[in-house]
């Protein structure tokens, strides 16, 4: 997660993204050991531990105490040196065994996809494995004995991967020991190469590790490292501060959370690629991952609804007055805050969404705050049948994302926070109290109702803040990306601790998308329905691949005989169809249909939030499965004419997500213009967001796109 609270990081990112737009600027990636670890190759610590253990077991001349001391002090080249001195054959055998051929992982595929966005591609790497050169087609591999060739290739815009420390295919060429480094850094050709390379380009350190720390430390002893890296700017994407880096190397700091594999580095490369494509195409490009993924094994056939909004008028946000520890009144806003202006039509998709979930998935989750709506839509008997049989259950989050303003009159200065609403007398609002608030017993059936309420309580999953992590921090990290700000209409100049009134709901919706994605990962939910443009955030924000087929289409075909049918209208017209759907779930065709949908789920394990948006399907469902499901479903009907009378309405197709996001920006503009009128401000005044720019060139420009 990029560190949105670090001013140095924010400034470095802006500079890097601006440089990415410059056609004349050459960008060279220095790839360290962290990248290879995404495919399971050991970092230096693990490799050193493995070598030390083998020498301790098999080599009598090995100085175990000295080796153990070097291991504890992280002086790995010294450790490798004494091992190689005892037995060079065993040392090279250990190295070879540690880097066998491996299967590519989704996270590494995502990394390669990001690099492919740069053409030509210039890479310096200290890694000895051959993953980069084998995956980047059309890219020449340069050995460390021929590094001068990289200079001419850089000048002529020819792609290359330069192996600074040798390659596993020639294991004796690799650089691990102190003598290896001494020989390398005393080579005039190597020094000349690095000096010219960094003078000709901007170097970006990624996958940085102790191996590279050691290189720079030796460089600083042998050369004037500040002179070597010149004026820069160069960039190091690191999870920690680094005292060896010269001033010309700018730090981009990140926290290895919520993912421990340091994938935040890829986020930066993807954003660079996005800004580069903007320069080339002058259009917004949503980048997809390569089609090399398979369904994640660690998911279930389950579908999560973003919200359930039946026909009628509903409130989707709350504005609260809160008091801080010093007694000051502040204003907090939660929820998605949709307005009539942002709805593509006045028709509800709620029943449609429930039907899709029942037909295509073993399990359907809904937010607990939608309990009454789901109960009333299904009808009491069907509702309790689905709950009892484990088909339908609910989720309660202990904390919700919100934006807190300094006062009710503040038009800017908002800050993201996680908070919970509690009863002033009873304290925390429990699942049981929410159930009783939404549902009540029929007179005379109180004892039966209590049993049902207890069952529903058990079927509701509570998610604590400790489990969820800081949604606010993750959202701030994502908002460092200019492409995401552009998508939702947030000015690049708006400080992250000064959210404006007109950007409140787009940012809260982003927070809710993040929250749902984290929930899917926690509960192993394979699919989530995102409403009203929110699905459009998935690709650019989380690198989630959107499939060409949708579970909606599959369900529509089974029920209505054609794709994109308005299933909700059909069921509302004849509620008994719900009984047929529940019966169909138990048929062999119904089970086979759910099995096929599950097998086609695209759960992108490399995304920042692992979730298959709107149940994206990798390929079309087999015709035999679809037709068999439809035939069996029709047999359950007495009045088959009901099947033919549905209208067409594509609810969840992401082709319309961009239009939904345009509606978001249109509403934000409306709010801004109302505030300007109320405060007697014009477009030439300083923007209230705190950017220091004129309104015309800041927030008004951002939401005009």
State the pLDDT at residue 307.
Answer: 81
| pTM confidence score | 0.73
* CA distances for 381 relative to 353, 367, 377, 651, 693, angstroms: 19, 20, 11, 28, 59
d(CA 43, CA 209): 8
The conformational region for residue 583 under phi > 0 = left, psi -120 to 50 = alpha, else beta, is: alpha
What contacts 646, CB < 8 A, 6 or more positions away?
A: 560, 562, 565, 566, 567, 569, 570
Query: What's the CA gap between 342 and 471, in Å, rounded?
Result: 25
pLDDT value of residue 624:
66
* Pairing state between β 202-206 and 234-238: parallel
Task: Name the one residue in this structure whose structure tokens are 């504890």.
Answer: 72
Mean pLDDT in consecutive groups of 10 residues from the start of the chain, 705 residues? 80 87 86 90 93 96 95 93 96 96 86 89 94 93 90 93 94 94 86 82 79 54 56 82 73 78 81 69 37 50 85 83 85 89 72 87 94 94 96 94 93 89 75 93 88 95 86 82 87 86 94 84 80 66 38 54 64 88 90 81 50 47 63 56 34 45 89 94 90 88 84
Nearest partner of 474 among 397, 401, 367, 396, judged by Cα: 401
CB 434 within 8 A of CB 367: no
| Residue 631 Cα to chain centre, angstroms | 40
Q: What does the block give as tokens for 81?
A: 């040196």
Say how far apart CA 302 and CA 335 lie, in whole Å: 24
Mutual angle of helices 88-98 and 76-86, in 10-degree steps: 130
Q: Hey, what are 24's tokens? A: 């004349």
Q: Residue 642 has which token pair?
A: 């009901």
pLDDT digits (tens, 9 = 90+) for 47-59: 999 999 999 999 9
Strand 122-125 with 27-31, pairing: parallel
Sign (positive or negative) of CA dihedral 204, 210, 212, 218 = positive
**Neighbouring C-beta atoms of residue 164, cutoff 10 Å:** 23
Q: What is the DSSP secondary structure assignment for residue 442, as one 8-state letter?
A: P
Q: Give the architecture-level CATH label for domain 7-41+104-281.
A: 3-Layer(aba) Sandwich (3.40)
**What is the structure's pLDDT at 550?**
46
C-alpha torsion 235→237→241→244, nearest 10: -50
Phi, psi of 92 (to 5 degrees): -70, -30
CA distance 34 to 43: 7
User: How many angstroms separate the Cα of 333 from the Cα of each of 116, 206, 399, 406, 491?
Assistant: 41, 38, 13, 12, 20
Strand 329-335 and strand 400-405: pairing? Answer: antiparallel
The CA-atom distances, in angstroms, between 365 and each of 166, 234, 528, 654 are 52, 47, 9, 22
| Spatial distance between the Cα atoms of 355 and 374, rounded to a whole number of angstroms | 12
How far, rounded to the nearest angstrom, does the alpha carbon of residue 327 sit from its chain's CA centroid?
A: 38
| Consecutive H or E run containing 302 | strand 300-305
Other CB atoms within a 10 A radius of the CB of residue 296 amount to: 17
Q: Say how far apart CA 617 and CA 31 lie, in whole Å.
A: 34
CATH code 3.40.50.1220 region(s) in the chain: 7-41+104-281
Neighbouring C-beta atoms of residue 172, cutoff 10 Å:
9
Written as six digits, the tokens of 448 are: 């039966």
| CA distance to 339, 343, 547, 580, per residue, from 370 (Å) | 18, 19, 28, 24
* Number of continuous H segments (helices) and E segments (strands) in the chain: 31, 21
Four-point Cα dihedral 575, 581, 582, 585, nearest 10:
180
Closest by alpha carbon to 164, among 174, 155, 151? 174
Determine the pLDDT at residue 656: 40
In angstroms, how far apart are the furthest CA atoms of the chain?
Answer: 93
Cβ partners under 8 Å of residue 479, min gap 6: 4, 485, 490, 496, 507, 510
pLDDT at 608: 52
Q: How far apart are CA 130 and CA 108, in angstroms?
A: 13
The residue length of the chain stands at 705
> Do 203 and 250 touch, CB atoms closer than 8 A?
no
How far apart (Å, rounded) are the C-alpha atoms in residues 361 and 300? 9
Q: Residue 630 CB: number of other CB atoms within 10 A?
A: 18
On the question of a cis peptide bond just before residue 233, with omega within 30 degrees of 0, the verdict is: yes
- Tell me, what's the pLDDT at 552? 54
Q: In degrees rounded to 5, what are phi and psi of residue 204?
A: -120, 115
What is the torsional sign of CA 29, 35, 41, 44?
positive
pLDDT digits (tens, 9 = 90+) for 99-110: 999 999 878 888
DSSP state of 642: G
Q: Give the span between the Cα atoms of 415 and 406, in whole angstroms.
A: 9
* Residues 213-246: b if buried by 16+ CB within 10 A, e if exposed: bbbbebbeeeeebeebbeeebbbbbbbeeeebbb
């Amino acid at each position: 997660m990029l560190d949105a609270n670090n001013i140095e990081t924010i400034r470095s990112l802006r500079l890097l993204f601006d440089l990415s737009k410059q056609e004349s600027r050459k960008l060279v990636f220095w790839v360290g050991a962290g990248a290879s670890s995404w495919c399971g190759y050991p970092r230096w610590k693990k490799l050193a531990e493995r070598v030390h253990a083998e020498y301790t077991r098999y080599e009598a001349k090995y100085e175990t105490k000295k080796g153990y001391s070097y291991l504890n002090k992280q002086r790995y080249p010294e450790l490798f040196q004494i091992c190689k001195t005892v037995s060079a054959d065993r040392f090279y055998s250990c190295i070879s065994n540690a880097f066998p051929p491996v299967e590519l992982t989704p996270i590494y595929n995502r990394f390669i996809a990001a690099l492919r966005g740069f053409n030509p591609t210039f890479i310096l790497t200290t890694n000895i494995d051959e993953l980069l050169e084998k995956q980047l087609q059309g890219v020449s591999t340069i050995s460390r004995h021929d590094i001068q060739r990289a200079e001419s290739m850089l000048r002529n815009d020819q792609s290359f991967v330069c192996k600074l420390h040798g390659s596993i295919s020639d294991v004796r060429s690799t650089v691990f020991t102190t003598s290896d480094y001494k020989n390398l850094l005393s080579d005039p050709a190597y020094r000349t190469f690095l000096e010219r390379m960094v003078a000709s380009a901007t170097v970006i350190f990624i996958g940085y590790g102790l191996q590279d720390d050691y290189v720079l430390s030796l460089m600083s002893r042998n050369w004037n490292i500040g002179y070597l890296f010149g004026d820069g700017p160069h960039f190091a994407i690191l999870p920690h501060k680094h005292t060896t880096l010269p001033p010309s190397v700018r730090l981009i700091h990140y926290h290895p959370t919520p993912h421990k594999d340091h994938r935040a580095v890829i986020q930066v490369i993807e954003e660079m690629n996005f800004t580069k494509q903007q320069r080339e195409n002058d259009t917004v490009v949503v980048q997809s991952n390569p089609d090399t993924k398979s369904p994640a094994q660690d998911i279930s056939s389950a579908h999560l609804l973003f919200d359930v909004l039946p026909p009628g008028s509903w409130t989707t946000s709350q504005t609260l007055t809160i008091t801080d520890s010093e007694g000051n009144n502040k204003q907090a806003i939660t929820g998605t805050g949709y307005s009539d202006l942002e709805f593509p039509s006045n028709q509800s998709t709620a029943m449609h969404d429930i039907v899709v979930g029942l037909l295509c998935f073993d399990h359907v989750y809904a937010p607990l705050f939608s309990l009454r709506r789901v109960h009333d839509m299904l009808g009491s008997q069907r509702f309790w049948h689905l709950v009892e049989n484990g088909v339908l259950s609910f989720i309660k989050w202990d904390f919700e994302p919100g934006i807190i303003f300094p006062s009710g009159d503040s038009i800017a200065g908002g800050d993201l926070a996680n908070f919970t609403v509690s009863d002033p007398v009873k304290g925390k609002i429990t699942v049981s109290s929410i159930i009783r608030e939404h549902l009540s017993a029929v007179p005379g059936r109180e004892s039966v109702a209590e049993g049902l309420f207890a069952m529903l309580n058990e079927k509701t999953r509570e998610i604590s803040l400790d489990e969820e992590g800081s949604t606010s921090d993750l959202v701030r990290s994502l908002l460092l990306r200019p492409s995401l700000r552009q998508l939702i209409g947030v000015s690049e100049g708006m400080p992250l601790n000064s959210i404006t009134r007109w950007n409140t709901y787009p940012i809260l919706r982003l927070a809710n998308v993040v929250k749902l994605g984290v929930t899917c990962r926690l509960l192993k939910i394979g699919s989530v329905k995102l409403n009203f443009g929110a699905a459009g955030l998935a690709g650019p924000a989380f690198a989630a691949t959107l499939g060409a087929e949708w579970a909606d289409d599959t369900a529509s075909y089974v029920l209505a005989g054609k794709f994109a049918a308005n299933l909700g209208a059909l069921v509302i017209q004849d509620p008994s169809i719900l009984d047929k759907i529940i019966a169909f779930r138990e048929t062999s065709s119904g089970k086979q249909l759910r099995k096929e949908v599950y097998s086609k789920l695209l759960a992108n394990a490399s995304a920042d939030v692992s979730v298959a948006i709107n149940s994206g399907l990798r390929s079309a469902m087999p015709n035999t499965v679809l037709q068999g499901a439809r035939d069996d479903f029709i047999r359950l009907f007495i009045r088959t004419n009901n099947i033919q009378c549905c209208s067409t309405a594509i609810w969840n197709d992401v082709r319309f997500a961009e239009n939904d996001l345009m509606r978001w920006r249109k509403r934000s503009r409306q709010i801004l213009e109302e505030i300007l009128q109320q405060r007697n401000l014009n477009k030439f005044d300083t923007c209230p967001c705190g950017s220091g720019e004129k309104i015309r060139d800041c927030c008004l420009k951002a939401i005009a796109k």
